[in-house]
Amino acid sequence: MSVAVDRLVEVVRLLREHCLWTAALTHASLVEYLVEESYELVEAIEDGQPDEELRGELADVLLQVVLHSEIARERGAFDLDAVAEALTAKMVRRNRHVFTADGGLQPSFPATVEEIIASWDAAKREERLERAAAAERDDVLPALAAAEGALEGLPRHLPALALADKALGRAERRRALDAGEPAAAGGTTGAIPAGVGEFASEDELGELLLDVVRAARDRGLDPERALRAAVRRLAV
């Protein structure tokens, strides 16, 4: 690691040793801070805040990673180096359109985003099959088969709209894979289903979504819960 990162790890380690508040932190108690810092980073990006602000928000998110890694190191599980190594291995393994198995560069690279998506999805599928073969347990295989659905690998606490968008994207890519077609980088046709208001921009879409939420409130319905339930039905 760089000198700056080494110093950061050292500072966090000293805080864990000599600061009662920091020493009391656990993986569970840090969750609220991780969520808060992540949303502050999103806000900085979406608001186009100056680079100094963006750097600060990235630093706050990095602190969460370092704290979790230090807590894990203290109980003999792993440290920040191991986290970085795991991420590097994953990036090489998942991005085989760029890297060879030993981490070198491929002799050529895909010319389209569709090819990249297909390669990424194929790599993830192979990982799941390898885990199933390694497990060699009857109780594991059904769970992995169920995970092939649109919600596979998606955090269940994602906001409903983000969850729906990602689930639909995975479902579309899976249909394309089953049909032997290239995976689309975005949606499918872009056609607006019957009964859905017209929109041609994100501003117009935002107003439409706001109208739907307003109508749901008027009827005493929970739009977040309703959309989550619809996504779960999609995944069945």
- Torsion sign across C-alpha atoms 194, 199, 200, 206: negative
Read off the CATH number of the domain in which 71 is found.
1.10.287.1080
d(CA 34, CA 204): 32
Q: What is the pLDDT of residue 194?
A: 75
10 and 90 in a single domain? The answer is yes
Is residue 155, in this structure, part of any structural domain at all? yes
Flag whether 116 is in a domain.
Answer: no
Structural domain range at position 70 = 3-94
Residue 128 is assigned to a structural domain of this protein: no
Q: Are residues 17 and 82 in the same domain?
A: yes
Residues 67 and 61: their CA atoms lie apart, in Å, by 10
Last residue of one domain, picked from the residues 25, 60, 94: 94
Encoding tokens for residue 131? Answer: 């885990």
Based on the fold, state whether residues 157 and 231 are members of the same structural domain: yes
Is there a domain that residue 105 lies in? no
> Is 10 a member of any domain?
yes
Dihedrals φ, ψ of 91, to 5°?
-65, -40
The residue with tokens 């790890």 is: 9
Taking all residues of the chain, what is their mean pLDDT, rounded to a whole number? 86
Residue 144 maps to a domain: no
pLDDT for 96: 94
Domain total in the chain: 2
pLDDT at 147: 43
Q: What mean pLDDT do residues 193-217 have? A: 89
